[in-house]
Structure 1
């Protein structure tokens, strides 16, 4: 019973803190056409499925995702910190015709974001897991789904 009261008090406090946060508004510009429906991705473990990320590096030592990630045929992902810890600003060109800016939230070792009404997840993988021949053999990559991945040079 005492534990439940403490948890309730903490939940109330965190709600109050959120309302008073000094987060600056995050403007999201989406320059794409309407979304083609598809299943949303879910947060997953590292590429080996054993709690590791980036070719065997433990989660606690996973590198920061901030920076430029390169895909194929003009695909690019720029990950920037947002005003609130655990939030990111994503600028991406995910094919030749579509680009936009999105808010992302850290969930475990992934970044979850919404693109054209579909919940997507950037997860750490290697180049082989992207399904893109040009990225095969790379070790530090972020993948949204097969055929959409970005790697560090």
Structure 2
């Protein structure tokens, strides 16, 4: 009799533990798609940067989406210096600050700014620009 009571008590305890595990699974559900859509915007702010940008003295930048990798990935084709070897195509990824990429002179971040932020007097009056560093910026034509 004691043995039967012990077994029933154990089963009751185990089923209660199993119910708690099931309840915790219910509360940890993934948010519905409508909520997820509001958490991650369909279009990234950096998607608006796709296109051609002009710098000074022949410097230029063309940004395109990298469809082979997916959302938030870009291809940057740029002439970033006056020397012939200061040109190239680089893969970039959307980051909190802009588009992060690496070129021979090291890791860089392309950020939104205006002509003043470029530090270049020829672009000072422009409003829609992208800046890598002071002295290197590109604005919409």
TM over 0.5: yes
User: Structure 1 stretches of 5 or more lacking a match?
Assistant: 7-59
Equivalent of residue 103 in structure 1, options 73, 83, 91: 91
Report the 3-state secondary structure (helix = DSSP H, G, I; strand = E; otherwise coil) of the residue aligned with 1:64. Answer: helix
What residue number does 2:56 align with?
72
Equivalent of residue 65 in structure 2, options 57, 62, 81: 81
CA distance in 1, matches of 2:97, 2:75: 16
User: Structure 2 stretches of 5 or more lacking a match?
Assistant: 1-23, 29-43
Equivalent of residue 106 in structure 2, options 93, 118, 138: 118
Between the two structures, name the one with larger relative contact order (CA 8 Å, sep ≥ 6).
Answer: 1
How much does 1:62 deviate?
7.4
Q: How does 1:2-151 map to 2 (within 5 A)?
A: 64-83=48-67, 84-97=70-83, 98-116=86-104, 118-151=106-139
Q: How many equivalent pairs are there?
A: 99
Closer, same or farther: CA 80–61 of 1 in aligned 2, 3 Å: closer
Report the 3-state secondary structure (helix = DSSP H, G, I; strand = E; otherwise coil) of the residue aligned with 2:122. Answer: helix
CA deviation digits over 1:42-78, x for unaligned, max 9? xxxxxxxxxxxxxxxxxx8777000000000010000
Report the 3-state secondary structure (helix = DSSP H, G, I; strand = E; otherwise coil) of the residue aligned with 2:117. Answer: helix
What residue number does 1:50 align with?
none
TM-score, normalised relative to structure 1: 0.59
Preserved contact between residue 122 and residue 143 of structure 1 (Cα < 8 Å): yes
Preserved contact between residue 73 and residue 95 of structure 1 (Cα < 8 Å): no
How much does 1:108 deviate?
2.6
Q: Please tell me whether Structure 1 or Structure 2 has the larger radius of gyration of its CA atoms.
A: 2
